[in-house]
C-alpha cells in the first residue's frame, strides 16, 4: 500500500479523535479524483478530461490530528451501455451504503440535467448525512454562485453546501471541517502513514491507463484495460511488464502508433509516474493485446479486476 511521506507524529487523544467512511459520488468528470489527490497531497488516483475515468471503488485515507477520513472514490454515475458500465454504476451505488457521510460533488461548469436528477433521487432514499461540494467555483461570479447554492438547497436535505475548487484547493479546508463535524468519534482504521488500500500493482496499472486516456481519442480510451503481469525488483531498478487490452485490431494500431511511437510515449509518461510512486528507477515494458468485446464478458471483467469473483 502507498505510504504518505509526511504524517503528523502526534495525534489528538482518542477521546477527541473522529473517524469514518465517506462515499464520494457524482457524475463523470465532477472532479472527485482531482479533489482527493489534492487532499492527500500526492497522486493516488488517475485523472483525465474524459468521462468515466474511475472504474473501481478506491479507498483514499486522510489522517490528521483531528481524525481519519476514509474516502471511497467511486466511478461517475451514468447510464451504463455495457456490463463494465453496469459494474461501475453498481459500485458507486453500493458505496453509499453503510458509510458515515456521502460527499456529493457537482461540476458547476456543467448544466443541471437528468444525471443530477437521478443522483438527487438516490440521495432522497438514504438517511446517510450528505454534504454537497460545488466544484469549479473559480469559474463563476459571486452572484452566479449564490443562485446555484439556492437552487441546490431546495433539491435535498444537505447537511452543508460548500463551494470549492478541487484544482486550486480553494475552500477545501472548510470542506474537511464540515466532513469531520459529521463523523463520529472513533478509532484509527488504518496506520497513519497509509493513503490508499490499493496495492502498488493496481496503482501502476491505473497510471498506464491514464496515459492511454490522455493520448488517444474517440472510443479507444474506454475500450482498454491494463494488467500488470510481472514486477521484478533488481538491484538498480524495478522491471515492470504491463499488458494493455483493447477490443479491436484498429484500436491496437492506434495505441501502438506509427512505428510504435504512440506506445513509446505512453510508456515514457507512465514510467515517470511509476518511478515517482516507487521511488526507484523503472524499466517499463508494454504489450498490446486484442480481446474482443471484453467489456461485456463477465470472465474478462473478473480477470481484469472488474466485477466480483465467483464463489
Give 213-223 pLDDT, tens digit per residue. Answer: 888 876 565 77
Give 70-127 pLDDT, tens digit per residue. Answer: 998 776 554 545 455 555 555 555 656 678 999 999 999 988 888 888 889 888 888 8
On whether 33 is known to bind a ligand per the annotation, the reply is yes
On whether 257 is known to bind a ligand per the annotation, the reply is no
On whether 77 is known to bind a ligand per the annotation, the reply is yes
> At residue 242, does pLDDT exceed 50?
yes
On whether 74 is known to bind a ligand per the annotation, the reply is yes
On whether 135 is known to bind a ligand per the annotation, the reply is yes
On whether 137 is known to bind a ligand per the annotation, the reply is yes
**298 vs 137, residue with greater confidence:** 137
Q: pLDDT at position 50, please?
A: 43
On whether 169 is known to bind a ligand per the annotation, the reply is no
Q: pLDDT at position 14, please?
A: 60
On whether 31 is known to bind a ligand per the annotation, the reply is yes
- Sheet order of strands, 160-163 included: 58-64, 67-73, 18-26, 101-107, 130-135, 160-163
On whether 26 is known to bind a ligand per the annotation, the reply is yes
On whether 28 is known to bind a ligand per the annotation, the reply is yes
pTM of the model: 0.66
Whole-number Å distance between alpha carbons of 283 and 281: 7
On whether 75 is known to bind a ligand per the annotation, the reply is yes
DSSP string, 50-74: SSS---S-EEEEEEETTEEEEEEE-
Whole-number Å distance between alpha carbons of 126 and 19: 21
On whether 303 is known to bind a ligand per the annotation, the reply is no
> At residue 187, does pLDDT exceed 80?
yes
**Domains identified in the chain and CATH numbers:** 18-182 (3.40.50.300), 200-304 (3.30.300.20)
Q: How far is CA 293 from CA 156, 224, 256, 300, in A?
A: 39, 10, 19, 9
**pLDDT mean over 246-262:** 91
**18 vs 305, residue with greater confidence:** 18
Q: How many CB atoms lie within 10 A of CB 37?
A: 18
> At residue 271, does pLDDT exceed 80?
yes
On whether 27 is known to bind a ligand per the annotation, the reply is yes
Q: What integer best gives the mean pLDDT of the chain?
A: 81
Give 11-70 pLDDT, tens digit per residue. Answer: 545 668 999 999 898 887 788 888 988 898 876 665 544 444 444 467 889 999 999 999
**106 vs 306, residue with greater confidence:** 106
> At residue 265, does pLDDT exceed 90?
yes
pLDDT band at 262 (very low <50, low <70, confident <90, very high): very high
Half-sphere CA count of 292, side-chain side, radius 13 A: 1
Q: pLDDT at position 3, please?
A: 47
**133 vs 28, residue with greater confidence:** 133
Q: pLDDT at position 111, please?
A: 85
Cβ atoms 166, 243 nearer than 8 A: no
Q: pLDDT at position 78, please?
A: 45
Amino acid at each position: 500500500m502507498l505510504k504518505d511521506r509526511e504524517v503528523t507524529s502526534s495525534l489528538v487523544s482518542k477521546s477527541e479523535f473522529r473517524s469514518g467512511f465517506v462515499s464520494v459520488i457524482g457524475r463523470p468528470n465532477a472532479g472527485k479524483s482531482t479533489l482527493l489527490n489534492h487532499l492527500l497531497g500526492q497522486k493516488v488516483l488517475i485523472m483525465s478530461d474524459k468521462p468515466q475515468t474511475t472504474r473501481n471503488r478506491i479507498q483514499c485515507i486522510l489522517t490528521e490530528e483531528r481524525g481519519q477520513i476514509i474516502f471511497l472514490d467511486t466511478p461517475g454515475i451514468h447510464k451504463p451501455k455495457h456490463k463494465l458500465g453496469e459494474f461501475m454504476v453498481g459500485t458507486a451505488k453500493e458505496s453509499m451504503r453503510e458509510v458515515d457521510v456521502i460527499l456529493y460533488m457537482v461540476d458547476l461548469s456543467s448544466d443541471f440535467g437528468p444525471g443530477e436528477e437521478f443522483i438527487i433521487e438516490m440521495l432522497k432514499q438514504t438517511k446517510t448525512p450528505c454534504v454537497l461540494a460545488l466544484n469549479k467555483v473559480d469559474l463563476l461570479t459571486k452572484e452566479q454562485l449564490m443562485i446555484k447554492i439556492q437552487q441546490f438547497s431546495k433539491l435535498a436535505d444537505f447537511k452543508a453546501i460548500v463551494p470549492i475548487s478541487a484544482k486550486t484547493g480553494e475552500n477545501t479546508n472548510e470542506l474537511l471541517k464540515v466532513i469531520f463535524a459529521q463523523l463520529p468519534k472513533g478509532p484509527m482504521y488504518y496506520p497513519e502513514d497509509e493513503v490508499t488500500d490499493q496495492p502498488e500493482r493496481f496503482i501502476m496499472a491505473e497510471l498506464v491507463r491514464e496515459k492511454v486516456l490522455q493520448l488517444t481519442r474517440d472510443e479507444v480510451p474506454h475500450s482498454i484495460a491494463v494488467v500488470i503481469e510481472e514486477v521484478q525488483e533488481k538491484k538498480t531498478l524495478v522491471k515492470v511488464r504491463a499488458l494493455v487490452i483493447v477490443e479491436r485490431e484498429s484500436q491496437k494500431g492506434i495505441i501502438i502508433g506509427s512505428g510504435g511511437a504512440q506506445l513509446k510515449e505512453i510508456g515514457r509518461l507512465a514510467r515517470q509516474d511509476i518511478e515517482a510512486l516507487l521511488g526507484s528507477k523503472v524499466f517499463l515494458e508494454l504489450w498490446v493485446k486484442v480481446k474482443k468485446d471484453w467489456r461485456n464478458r463477465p470472465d474478462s471483467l473478473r480477470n481484469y479486476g472488474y466485477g466480483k469473483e465467483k464463489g
